[in-house]
Amino acid sequence: MKGARRSLGSLVALLLVVGAALPLSSASAAPSKFVQELCDSALPGGGVPEWSFSANPGAAFSPFVSCAFPGGSMGISQGQTSATFSYMTIEVPPTLGGFIETETIAGISQGMSAGNHLSHIKVESWPPLDGGETSQSFFLRSKLDTGLLPSNGAGFSIVMSCDGNMSSCSGGTLSARDIAVTQVDVTPPVLKNLAGSLLSGEILRGHHDLSAEALDVGGGVSKVELLVDGQPAPSPVAGTCNLASVKNRSYEGVVAVTPRPCPTVLKGSWLLDTAAPPFQNGANVVQACATDFSTLTDPNRTCSAPQQVEVDNSCTESPVAGGQSISAQFTRTHRDQATLPAGSAANVVGELTDAAGDAISGATICVQAQTQGSGGGLRPVATTTTDAHGHFVYKVDPGPDRKVLLGYRHDTFQVARSVRYLAHARVKFKITPTNVHNGGEIKMWGRLPGPRAAERVVVLQAGGLHSAKWYPFGEATTNRNGVFHARYRFEETDETTVYKIRAVAPRQHGWPWETGSSKPVLVEVRG
C-alpha cells in the first residue's frame, strides 16, 4: 500500500468537538456539493489519491504514478509477460459525514494488444484497447449510506491482464488521471461564541465589536459574515481553502484538493461603525452567518437567531474627545424652561467640560428638537461649537412648544441636557362689520397656528373699551385647516357702545401651544 491514510481517531474527535457546539438557528436544507479532483498536474503535488497494487507472482507488471508532471497519470505498465494478472486499486474517501455522488475518470490505453482484452478501468471494455485517452462518468449514489458497514466513497481498479504469450503482451500501459468526484456535504456549519458590545442591549452609538466562531465537519467553513437587516455589514471573514483551477477532460473550473478543503474552525471578529450603512438609526436586526464550501449548489448556511439592536447616532459626532459634562439653560430665565410671548426666540447657553471640570473647546454640540406631542421623536436641527472657554450658544427660533436637546457625542460616549421652550399661541382674528346697530350681526373668523390645529376650541371674549375684564360670550371649533367661524347678534345695547372683542385659544391636549389670544378688535354698536 502507498499513499497517506486518514486517521479514524482524529475524525471521531472532530465530530465530538463540533457536536458539542449548539447551532443558534436552522440551516439551509439542501446539501452542499463541490468537485474534488485528483491526479492532475494543476494540483499541489499532483493530487495523488490513495492507492495499492497487486500482481501475480513473477508477473512483469509495474505500477507508476506521475500525476505531478504535465500529462502525467497513474496506472500499470507491462513488460514482456505471458498469461498473468495485476490490478491497481484507487480510493477516494468522502467528505466527513457526507458521500460521493458521481465520479469522472479520464482513462488512457496505449500499446495494448489483443492479449490484453480483459484489461480495463472500473468497468469492463473501457477504455478501448490502445484507444488513447477517453473519459467516462459514473453515478454512485444519491443519499448517505447509514448502514452497518456504510460505503460512501468512490474508487476503482485499473486491471491489467495478459492471456497470450510473451510476444503478444509487451510494452503497453493502462492508466487514469483527472479523477473528478462530486462530494456531497450534508452537515451544515455550527455557530458558537457569539459575543461583543454590539449585543449589549443598550442603545448603540459609534463603534462596537462582535465576534463569532463557526465549525464544520464536511467541506469546512468558507465564510463567516455579519448581516444587518439582511445586508452584509463589513467584509466577511473568508476561510483559506485548499483549491485549484483546472481544465481537462473531466472538469473545468475550481476544484477542491482534499475532501475538506476549508478550515474546520473559522473565527470572525468585526469592529463596526453603527453610524455607517447598512446600520440606520432606530431598530436594526443583526445576525451572524456561517457558510460551508460549495461549487455546484448553494452552500449550507447557518445563521444565528435574529437579534434586534437599537442604534441612535442622531447626535452629530464631535471630532474633539474628552467631554464628560454638559450644562444648558435659557438666558431669560436661567433655568431649563422658558415660556415666551408668541413669535419670540430664546437663547440657550451652556458649557462642556471634562472629568476634571476643565473646558473643552472646539467641540461640536448637536441640537435636536421635538415638537410637543409629536410622535417622531427628537430630530437633528443644528449644531454649534464650544469656544475657548467651553461655552456655547444656541438660538431657539420662534414656534410651537418644543423639547430641545443639546448634546455632545464622541464615538460611543454621549452626554446631553434638554430644555423646554414654551410659547403662547398667536391667534389671527377678524370681524366684519365693525360698526352695527343694535339688532345687527357681526361675523367673526380666524386661524390657529399649527401643527395639529384641527378640531380645537376657541373661546370668544368681549369687554368694555376701558375695562380690564373679559367676558366669554361664545365658542367656535376649528376645521381641518385650523380656521374657525362664528356669528353674534347684538340685541341689548341701548346706548351707543364700543366693545373690544378677542379670540382666546386655551392650552389643549395634543396642541403644542400655550394659551394665546388675538389682538382685540373694536366694534361700535349704535343703540
Distance, CA of 384 to CA of 352 (rounded, Å): 12
CATH of the domain at 450: 2.60.40.10
Give 78's strand partners.
Answer: 61
**248 occurs within a structural domain:** no
Q: Do residues 138 and 228 both lie within one domain?
A: no
Distance, CA of 255 to CA of 261 (rounded, Å): 9
Backbone torsions φ then ψ of 324, nearest 5 degrees:
-130, -30
Q: How many residues does the chain have?
A: 527
**296 occurs within a structural domain:** yes
Q: Alpha-carbon Rg of the chain, whole angstroms?
A: 43
Note the pLDDT of residue 145. 95
Q: Do residues 140 and 84 both lie within one domain?
A: yes
The DSSP 8-state label assigned to residue 11 in this structure reads: H
Q: Tell me if 288 sits within 8 A of 199, measured CB to CB.
A: no
**96 occurs within a structural domain:** yes
Note the pLDDT of residue 25. 55
**247 occurs within a structural domain:** no
| Nine-digit cell string for 250 | 473531466
**475 occurs within a structural domain:** yes
Q: Tell me if 461 sits within 8 A of 477, measured CB to CB.
A: no
Q: Tell me if 331 sits within 8 A of 347, measured CB to CB.
A: yes
372: helix, coil or strand?
A: coil
**251 occurs within a structural domain:** no
Q: Do residues 181 and 195 both lie within one domain?
A: no
Distance, CA of 59 to CA of 525 (rounded, Å): 138
Per-residue pLDDT of the chain in tens (527 residues, 90 and over written 9): 344 333 333 333 333 333 334 445 555 568 999 999 999 999 999 999 999 999 988 788 999 999 999 999 999 999 887 778 999 999 999 999 999 999 999 999 999 888 888 999 999 999 998 889 999 999 999 999 999 999 999 999 999 998 876 566 888 999 999 999 999 999 999 999 999 999 999 999 999 999 999 999 999 999 999 999 999 998 899 999 999 999 999 999 999 999 999 999 999 999 999 999 999 999 999 999 999 999 999 999 999 999 999 999 999 999 999 999 999 999 999 999 999 999 999 999 999 999 999 999 999 999 999 999 888 789 999 999 999 999 999 999 999 999 999 999 999 999 999 999 999 999 999 999 999 999 999 999 999 999 999 999 999 999 999 999 999 999 999 999 999 999 999 998 889 999 999 999 999 999 999 999 999 999 999 98
Q: Where are the beta strands (DSSP E) in 186-264?
A: 190-195, 207-215, 221-228, 231-232, 237-238, 243-247, 252-256
Which of 401, 423, 445 represents a domain boundary (last residue)?
423
Residue from 518, 493, 505, 515 nearest 431 by CA: 518
CATH of the domain at 410: 2.60.40.1930
Which of 311, 335, 351 represents a domain boundary (last residue)?
311
Q: Do residues 487 and 383 both lie within one domain?
A: no
Q: Do residues 100 and 173 both lie within one domain?
A: yes
Q: Where are the beta strands (DSSP E) in 39-189?
A: 50-55, 61-65, 74-78, 84-92, 99-110, 120-121, 132-139, 154-162, 173-185
Q: Do residues 66 and 162 both lie within one domain?
A: yes
Q: Which whole-number Å values give the CA distances from 94 to 39, 178, 244, 514, in the listed order?
A: 16, 17, 18, 79
Range of the domain at 213: 190-242+257-311
Q: C-alpha angle 453/459/461, rounded to 5°?
A: 140
**333 occurs within a structural domain:** yes
Q: Do residues 141 and 13 both lie within one domain?
A: yes
Backbone torsions φ then ψ of 363, nearest 5 degrees:
-85, 145
In the chain, how many domains are there?
A: 4
| 3-state SS, one letter per residue, for 479-514 | CCCCEEEEEEECCCCCCCEEEEEEEEECCCCCCCCE
pTM of the model: 0.77
Give 177's strand partners.
Answer: 106
Residue with cell 502507498: 2
Q: C-alpha angle 176/182/186, rounded to 5°?
A: 150
**250 occurs within a structural domain:** no
Note the pLDDT of residue 9. 37
CATH of the domain at 84: 2.60.120
Q: Do residues 118 and 17 both lie within one domain?
A: yes
Distance, CA of 484 to CA of 457 (rounded, Å): 9
Cα distance between the two ends of the chain: 130
Q: Do residues 446 and 397 both lie within one domain?
A: no
Q: The sheet that has 441-447: what strands, in order across it?
A: 428-432, 441-447, 483-489
Q: Do residues 383 and 265 both lie within one domain?
A: no
Contacts of 35 by beta carbon, 8 Å cutoff, 6+ apart: 180, 181, 182, 183, 251, 253, 254, 255, 256, 295, 296
Q: Do residues 283 and 230 both lie within one domain?
A: yes
Distance, CA of 203 to CA of 192 (rounded, Å): 24
Q: Do residues 417 and 473 both lie within one domain?
A: no
Which of 166, 185, 204 represents a domain boundary (last residue)?
185
